[in-house]
Amino acid sequence: MEKVLLILALSLSFLGISQTNYEQGMQQAFQLWEDGKTTEASALFERIATAEKDNWLPNYYVALVNTTAAFQTKAPGASMALLHKAQEKLDVILDGQENNVELLVLQAMIHTAHIARDPMTNGQKLSGTVMQLYGKAQAIAPDNPRVILNKAQFEMGTAQFFGTDTAPICAKIEQSLELFDTFKPETSFHPTWGKDQAEQALKSCE
């Protein structure tokens, strides 16, 4: 009996150490990203994903880091490489999680980055797909603030291009801001981003 208890105690101890390593690694990767070290953050998230094969979050952040970096770079070759990496990692975790709204939003963002990179080629080809993804995500999780915000921002771009009224879209952005205040992530590492983006978007509306 004492041996069984000892083995159990050691097992729990190792589990605790493993969880601590995961948490420390994720926190370090977030800090690197916050410091603007996107390449290093992406690489660390990728190493964590290798160790946490049943956890979708590290690969999600690899994809998110590279997607946001693609929006910020003006070099076509660099943005394509970043989006390729993002899509590659998203594909790994999409299988079996087709109704995960955070992944649907991220897929829509990747497509939007392709549209922003080459609107003449990709606008007509991908715009419908983006709206379908946001529509599906909103049907699953109508109170997810990232779904409401990102869908509204995509609609804003279209409205501004065609010169249509943006007031209803601004109302949706305001709604997303309210939802950010009540949204509760499943864990401290689940997606919570977007509130600052919503605040900036609302200022643009004003």
Q: Which tens digits make up the pLDDT trace of 82-102?
A: 999 999 999 999 999 999 999
> In percent, how much of the chain has pLDDT > 70?
91
Q: What's residue 67's pLDDT?
A: 98
Cβ atoms < 10 Å from Cβ of 62: 27
Band of residue 135 on the pLDDT scale cut at 50, 70, 90: very high
Q: What's residue 12's pLDDT?
A: 38
Q: What's residue 9's pLDDT?
A: 36
Task: Spell out a b/e string for 25-47, using b for 16 or more CB atoms within 10 Å of the CB, else e.
Answer: bbeebbebbeeeebebbbebbbe
Band of residue 69 on the pLDDT scale cut at 50, 70, 90: very high
Question: Cα(85)–Cα(91) distance, rounded to whole angstroms?
Answer: 10
Cβ-contact 177, 198 below 8 angstroms: yes
Cβ-contact 40, 32 below 8 angstroms: yes
